[in-house]
Amino acid sequence: MFKYHLKKIKERFAPDVVIINGENASHGFGLSVKNAKELINAGVQLFTGGNHSWDKKDILPLLDELPVLRPLNYPKAAPGKGIAYMDVGGETLVVINLMGHYTMPMVDNPFTMIVDEVQRLHEEGYRNIFIDFHAEATSEKRALLAILKGKVSAICGSHTHVGTDDLVIDGDTFYVTDVGLTGCRDNVIGMDTKQPMDRFLTSISGKFDVPNQCKKILQGVIFEIEEGKCIDAFKIKAYDENEIKVTQKAYRE
């Protein structure tokens, strides 16, 4: 479904860059080399990640070779990189992958780290800056907007799998709390319902799995940047292989 709709997205909206959070792209957990290459061939130019970036071990040695990011605030000893510099029509787009604290693995403070990182980028002349903030708590994501509005071009939240409708351009920075998942929709955050139900009913955890058959959804956002400022943004959504709909325009504060 993703490949089908990505082709339609390119035909209709002609995006300059396609970036996806791919940490669950390989059957719900991690990103394998095989799936990364399949998605690159389909038109993905950069992957961001999160707490599941490490689930597929075959990709770890290639994190410096493939266009794959992991959160910037993982310890420096962790493989891979958390920032990418992309040439887009002769301008540089800086993409940063960042991870929150609540319920997440032990990482460096994302807020103090990103303030220093954005200041460094500004001093070096970079203005087109996009952040994928992979975090559980909506308060962490909103706080990041408050800290960085007017200083970065866009902040998109990921991780909770549930898309939000709070698209806003505030201080020329585009923000959405969570882009939402692309995958199975008739279940619990993309996973087969049996294990989540058993866990809530018995308090005993087990292995989550993606169902073999399900109803599907694609969710995403498209935003336009000029000279570091977001000038337009909107949300797109598609059910199964039905037509892609623009479901919401960003409100400008």
Query: What amino acid positions are annotated as catalytic residues?
Result: 52
Inter-residue contact 96 to 110 (CB < 8 Å): no
- Give dist(CA 173, CA 86) in Å, integer: 19
Residue 248, sorted as left (phi over 0), alpha (psi -120 to 50) or beta, turns out to be beta
- Give dist(CA 100, CA 128) in Å, integer: 22
Sign of torsion over alpha carbons 81, 86, 26, 236: positive
- In the chain, how many H helices and how many E strands? 5, 13
> What angle in degrees, to the nearest 10, is found between the helix axes of 33-42 and 2-13?
30
Inter-residue contact 92 to 86 (CB < 8 Å): yes
Closest C-alpha among 181, 180, 176, 179 to residue 251 = 176
